[in-house]
Amino acid sequence: MFFKRMLAFICMVVMLAATAACPAYAAAPTPSPTPRPTATPAPTIPVFEPSDAEPTPLPRKANGMEMTLDEWYVWYYTEVNPIPNGNYKRPIYIVEDRVQFNEYNLPEPKGPQYALKTVDDFDKNSPALYTCTLKAGTSAYDVRSIYVERIFRVGGKTKVDVLYLDPLWAIVRFRGKIGYVKRHRILDVKPVDPVNTPPYGVQKHQYVAVTQDVAEVRISMSHDDYCWAILKPGTTLSIWQFDGEWAVVNYWRTYGYIHISDLTDIRTVSPTDQALNDDTPIAAYTSYYKVNSSETIQNRMHNIDKGIQYMSIVLQPGQEANANALMGPYSLENGYLEAGALAEGTTIQSPGGGTCQVSSTLYNVLLQLPKITVTYRRAHGDNGAPYLPMGQDAAVGNQDLNLIFRNDYDFPIRLEGHTNYDGALCWLVYRVFED
């Protein structure tokens, strides 16, 4: 019995030694607790802390002359943002010299974009923003395209509810059916709640900024995406809203995105028509124009700048402003050049071509101010000018095409226009305080 116990003891010792020596049977180490993931903090937008940084000046050539646009793009993509093998790329301009904005030929975005609402966000009980009348023969669709089967079609002028607006489409409700219609098909738009709903077409820009360096207006919120436009340093522009680190701006009939690192001197626009201080605009809006080195586009940029100079005025209480009287006559003798202008749905060459964008952009600022009364305004036909949301333009040029408005506030206002010959046209309106 003693020998059996000794043998069992020796075998147990040998087995324990073998187990300790063999890593395959080694006890697994006790895992340390997995730390709780830390949420990424939302980026802080310094909208109330303007930067003191000075915009980087655009370099000049060795002879001191200002660069041409083609030279500027080469400089940018070789010195600032080099492209391998020197294959620099110009910004992509989808809209050419044509009346229509081709929404079906936009590049595929590489990053996120501002999320538009869809028909799935609404039902038969959703509150309406506006009521309107659809033109006879208007069709509604279940996606933002006229190349799909329609949901319904109205034969005569028909009253419907407007649930949502984007720069090109309206989501409407008719007899419980909800679909998309083009904005130029709606008439007689009236807010359901005039106290809490802005007038039709108002899109208040909330911030004003200056480009700190060369600023790229991208197709999406991605540094790898294409550019709608490239802005020079020192360009003043307005911003609709921020989405994280990206400024969302109206670009033609869609949106563009500028990273906050490209901006400085970010200021808020007063949320009401009562200015917070002398330096706070009470309304702002920016539209964008095409840029290239062709003579007609260069002339158009010159005309935009000239029109801004004529329209940047102080308007006293009760005083009326007439765009044709201020900017006209549209002639070579008045400093204008021959450039493309919209006339009866086609593009023609005319002295002063481009001044309609001056008045149209200003019109979108005036709409934000309840006591600025627009007494006369005409659009460029049903589709309007493509550089603004559909139906939001104001043509000038003759007795029938004009923008006339009156200051019904009890204080003066100052109209201040900005352009930097790089694609952006910004209008700011300030309250003038008495000394």
Q: What is the pLDDT of residues 255-302, one digit of tens each?
A: 999 999 999 999 999 998 888 888 899 999 999 998 888 888 999 999
- Asked if 206 and 268 count as a contact pair (C-beta separation under 8 A), the reply is yes
Q: Which residues contact 192 (CB under 8 A, 6 or more apart)?
A: 127, 128, 129, 130, 131
> Average pLDDT of 182-204?
93
pLDDT in tens, 230-240: 999 999 999 99
pTM of the shown model: 0.78
Maximum CA extent, the chain: 129
> Average pLDDT of 344-357?
80
Q: Which residues contact 255 (CB under 8 A, 6 or more apart)?
A: 113, 114, 167, 240, 248, 249
Alpha-carbon separation of residue 70 from 88, 215, 216, 268, 289 (angstroms): 11, 17, 16, 34, 17
Among 195-199, 319-323, 363-367, the minimum mean pLDDT is found in 195-199
- Asked if 381 and 344 count as a contact pair (C-beta separation under 8 A), the reply is yes
Which residue would you say has higher pLDDT here, 418 or 101?
A: 418
Peptide bond into 329 cis (omega under 30): yes
Top mean pLDDT of 2-11, 33-42, 83-92, 192-201 is at 192-201
CA–CA separation, 358 vs 366, rounded Å? 12
Among 47-56, 254-263, 313-322, 415-424, the minimum mean pLDDT is found in 47-56
Please name the amino acid found at residue 204: K
Q: What is the pLDDT of residue 98?
A: 33
Query: Mean of the per-residue pLDDT values for the chain?
Result: 81
Rounded to the nearest angstrom, the gap between the alpha carbon of residue 43 and the centroid of all alpha carbons in its chain is 20
pLDDT above 70: residue 427 = yes
3-state secondary structure 373-394: EEEEECCCCCCCCCCCCCCCCC
pLDDT in tens, 151-165: 999 987 889 999 999
pLDDT above 80: residue 346 = no
The two structure tokens encoding residue 300:
């158009």
pLDDT in tens, 39-80: 333 333 444 343 344 444 555 655 556 566 556 656 655 555
Please name the amino acid found at residue 82: P
Q: What is the pLDDT of residue 275?
A: 85
Which residue would you say has higher pLDDT here, 57 or 252?
A: 252
Q: Is 306 exposed, middle or buried (0-12, 13-18, 19+ CB in 10 A)?
A: buried
Q: What is the pLDDT of residue 79?
A: 59
Which residue would you say has higher pLDDT here, 175 or 3?
A: 175
Which residue would you say has higher pLDDT here, 36 or 274?
A: 274
Domains and CATH numbers, the chain: 119-191 (2.30.30.40), 207-431 (no CATH)
Which residue would you say has higher pLDDT here, 89 or 337?
A: 337
CA–CA separation, 212 vs 202, rounded Å? 28
Q: What is the pLDDT of residue 58?
A: 53
> Average pLDDT of 331-335?
94
For residues 268-304, one letter each, b for 16 or more C-beta atoms within 10 angstroms of the residue's C-beta and e for the rest, the string is: ebbeebebeeeebbbbbbbbbbbbeeeebbbbbbbbb
- Asked if 181 and 140 count as a contact pair (C-beta separation under 8 A), the reply is yes
Angle 360-181-150 (CA atoms, 0-180°, nearest 5)?
155
Q: What is the pLDDT of residue 219?
A: 94
